[in-house]
Structure 1
C-alpha cells in the first residue's frame, strides 16, 4: 500500500483503504465526499522527520498509516472507535 503525496495533497487508492474500514469502494467514496470519514495528516518531527502519519476515521473504525517520505506505508494500525 502506498499513498501519493503531491503539493501537500494526499491521495490513497480506495481499493486499499475501503476494506480496512469495512466498506465497499462506493461506500468509502460517498462517505469521504459527505464528510463522514474524518482525516488527519501529521508530519513527523525530530527522529520521525520525513515520515507522515495519516488517520482515517468513521463511526466504527480508526485507521492510522505511518508512511515514509515517498508514501510507502511502513505501519498500519486499525482500532475500533469507542462507544459510550
Structure 2
C-alpha cells in the first residue's frame, strides 16, 4: 500500500513520504504530529474530478502526489517550497 482511499479519508504510506524527504520512516508520524511535516489535500473538480492532489511539506521541500479515487498514484513531484503560511 502506498496510498489508500477509504471512507475515513486518504492514508499515505510513511515509507513513501520518508523516501521523498530523505528521512527515516519512523520520523514521519512524529514529524506530522509536531508540525514539522504538513500537508494539503485538494479534490479535483470539473475535468479533474476523480483525482486528488496531496502536497506534503518538510524542511523547505514539497512532495506532491496526484492520485485517482482508487489511490493509484498518477504523478509524483518534488520541489523547493516554503511551508504554507510561513514567511521565507
Alignment TM class, shorter chain as reference = 0.7 to 0.9
Q: What is the alpha-carbon root mean square deviation over aligned residues?
A: 1.8
Question: Deviation of residue 7 (structure 1)?
Answer: 2.2
Structure 1: runs of 5 or more not aligned: none
SS at match of 2:2: coil
What aligned pairs does 1:19-38 form with structure 2 within 5 A after superposition?
Answer: 19-38=19-38
Ranked by relative contact order (alpha carbons within 8 Å, sequence separation 6 or more), the top structure is 1
Structure 2: runs of 5 or more not aligned: none
Aligned length: 84
More strand as a share of residues? 2
* TM value normalised by structure 1: 0.87
The runs of at least 4 aligned residues of structure 1 exceeding 3 Å deviation read none
